[in-house]
A = this chain, B = another copy of it.
Amino acid sequence: MTEKLNVEQMAARLSAAEDLVVVCHKNPDGDTIGCGCALYHALAALGKNAAVLCSDPIPARYDYMGARHYDGSYEPKTVVAVDIAGVQLFGEGNHVPELTRHVDLCIDHHAGNTGYADFTLLDDTAAATAELLIDVIETLGVAVTPQIADCLYTGLSTDTGCFKFSSTTARTHMVAARLIQAGARIEDLNKLLFDTKSPQRMAAERRALDNLEYHFGGRCALIYLTRDEIAESGVESADLEDLTGLPLTIEGVQVGLTLRQQPGGSCRISVRTVKGMDACAIAKRLGGGGHNRAAGCELEGNLENAKSAILAEVEAELSAQEETECRGS
């Protein structure tokens, strides 16, 4: 069992620690990297030996965070995990399994945190771990420099879709205000994080839009990309993740589907739904799972069969919802 700490207690544990390594989760996103680098800078400002560790390479777009990366040159005495809900998210690369066999401290905002660390600072009302970490850093007595502010702003803004997601609270905006006052370069960061797509990503989007279909009187929109189209566009798979939000942005659409044919021939299906429509129920019936509004499944067989199968489930869910509405009125 982990022992729960508050901000002051976590700051005290960090103050007493030496030779730290700050671990980010695999497939790193802006929040885990931003927090890892911000905490590194804070620890370095206290004169501590510290570095950031991640099982996967940190995408080059985050180079501006300028943290030191762990290179094996010292034996870590304290392992700190940031934004990591469970041990399965540590990953396998960069000697992470050996180095994280024992985790001392964890700072996180995921409600489902499994309590794998000796001591945990958990606040699941925070929209991002960065929203929480700023208080730890200030309690450490470290000034939030423009560089630390850039790191924390990256975490805060990416985890909230630039303050658009429902997780955004008054506190999220108040932390953003503090980071701007501390010198976060929000113009450059917003352009980099939210308004930059690779030409390959744009080519794939073009193909997907060419394949846009409406079903059930416009209540369902579907885009797909064949294996060949993905290969021809030259886009990386990770770069296609946010494309799954596209169909649901169309007015009147209640279920948005994105089908991507995989190199092996199977078909990955992403289901996105509006409030009141259960994406997980749709995906589950085809062996998948996920959340209420975002779920997915993977089907063998050709694209046409996958399309028919998922559309049948969408139709069932739309009918079920209509019945609920009738009963409700």
Contacts and interface: CB of A to CB of B under 8 A. Distances in A.
Interface of A: 162-166, 168-174, 176-178, 180-181, 186-187, 190-191, 194-199, 202, 205-206, 209-210, 212, 214, 218, 245, 248-252, 274-275
- Residue with the greatest number of chain B CB neighbours at <10 A, chosen from A166, A177, A181, A252: A177
A181 B190 contact: no
A205 B194 contact: no
A164 B177 contact: no
B202 A212 contact: yes
A63 to B, nearest CB: 14
Contacts of A176: 163, 170, 173
Given A180-B169, A180-B170, A194 B251 contact: no
Contacts of A166: 186-187
Contacts of A195: 164, 245, 248-249
A164 B171 CA distance: 18
B205 A209 contact: yes
A251 B197 contact: yes
B186 A168 contact: yes
Contacts of A172: 177
A238 B286 CA distance: 42
B162 A197 contact: no
